[in-house]
Amino acid sequence: MAVITGLDMAINSVSTAHQFRIDLAKELIEYIATNGQSGVGNKCGVLDWRGTAMAYGYLPAILPGASFTFTGSLDGTYGFTGSAYCEAVEIVWDVENGKYIGHTIQFTRNGALTVGEAAATDSTKPNPPCSQSLPLSLGGTTVSDVSYMRLKLMCPGFPRNTTSTAGGRQRTRGAFAAEFEYRCYYQNPGTLPTRGLYYTVNPYCTDTLYWDVNWMTPEIISGYANPSSRRPVNARILMKLYGANGTDQGYVKTPAAAPATVWPFS
């Protein structure tokens, strides 16, 4: 058997990918019986599989709630392909360490997975975006000294296993959720967001393009002061989707010249 490097890996429709993982499982059901010689047997169960794909960039090719065909090729010829459901995407700006903006796509079984021949290529030209100097706007105000940002959009599917799903789980689109985390250095804690209020959240991806989330509200605000760590006073803020403000409906829109609405679903 040949050993391959993965340098020729590719994922259909995903540009500048650098990693993917597939986990195949059968949720086995144990049995112990009078004729089992004091042993535990495993035979029946439910088939399932999950996957993650990681790529550079701020706009994932697949968004939560979407059903799609996943093809992950290890060398352009062999790999995995099957019907999948996107449960979450996560975009990360690691400004502190000067890293590229990257994202992770999390998906799961929505049909059988074929293991063997799976052809995919990436013919795009690499141009991974840098996270340096990209601002965060919170409620229309730029937040100073942000060192890290993370936006996660989620829509876990409602699973089912029936006589029509070939012994495995499939998913129906569930409820949408979102969370946003950022870390910053600060002097006055009064400048941090206020619990109970809601904010428009706009993490920038270029000088002009940004994710547009209306609205989010703080869930956790943590302040740190530890001179022995040789780091300035800093804070971590975790925010969750507010949804609606009693008068207007919120939304999530993509960073694009013509933004697409991720949620509410059309």
Inform me whether the pLDDT recorded for 151 exceeds 90.
yes
Residue 173 counted as domain residue = yes
Does residue 236 lie within any of the structural domains?
A: yes
Among residues 82, 165, 167, the alpha carbon closest in space to that of 117 is found at: 82
The answer to whether 47 and 26 have CB atoms below 8 angstroms apart is yes
Residue 207 has φ and ψ, to the nearest 5°, of: -65, -25
User: Is position 262 within any domain?
Assistant: no
pLDDT by residue (tens digit) across 199-208? 999 999 999 9
- From CA 14, how far away is CA 162, in angstroms rounded? 31
Residue 1 neighbours by CB under 8 Å, 6+ apart: none
Is pLDDT above 80 for 1?
A: no
Average pLDDT, the chain: 97
Task: Indicate if the pLDDT at residue 143 is higher than 80.
Answer: yes
pLDDT in tens, 68-110: 999 999 999 999 999 999 999 999 999 999 999 999 999 999 9
Provide φ and ψ at 147, rounded to 5°: -110, -15
Q: How far apart are CA 89 and CA 27, in angstroms?
A: 25
Indicate if the pLDDT at residue 21 is higher than 90. Answer: yes
pLDDT at 2: 84
User: How confident is the model over 154-198, as pLDDT tens digits?
Assistant: 999 999 999 999 999 999 999 999 999 999 999 999 999 999 999
DSSP assignment of 99-130: PBPEEEEEEEEEEEEEEEE------SPP-PPB
Q: What integer pLDDT is reported at residue 266 of this predicted model?
A: 87
Q: What is the pLDDT of residue 111?
A: 97
3-class state of residue 86 by DSSP: strand
Say what the pLDDT of residue 169 is: 97
The mean pLDDT of 44-56, rounded to a whole number, is: 98
263 part of a folded domain: no
Q: What is the pLDDT of residue 54?
A: 98
In this predicted structure, what is the pLDDT of residue 82? 97
Q: Is residue 37 part of a domain?
A: no
Whether residue 151 is contained in a domain is answered as yes
- Could you identify the residue written with the tokens 């995995």? 80
CA gap 98, 151 in Å, rounded = 18
How far is the C-alpha of 264 from the C-alpha of 177, rounded, in Å?
Answer: 11
Evaluate whether 106 touches 121 at the Cβ level (below 8 Å).
Answer: no
In a domain, 38, yes or no: no
Domain count, the chain: 1
Q: Which of 144, 163, 154 is nearest to 104 (CA)?
A: 154
Domain boundaries, position 116? 10-30+44-257
Domain assignment present for residue 35? The answer is no
**The Cα angle at residue 254 between residues 84 and 204, in degrees rounded to 5:** 125
Q: Which DSSP symbol is given to 16?
A: T
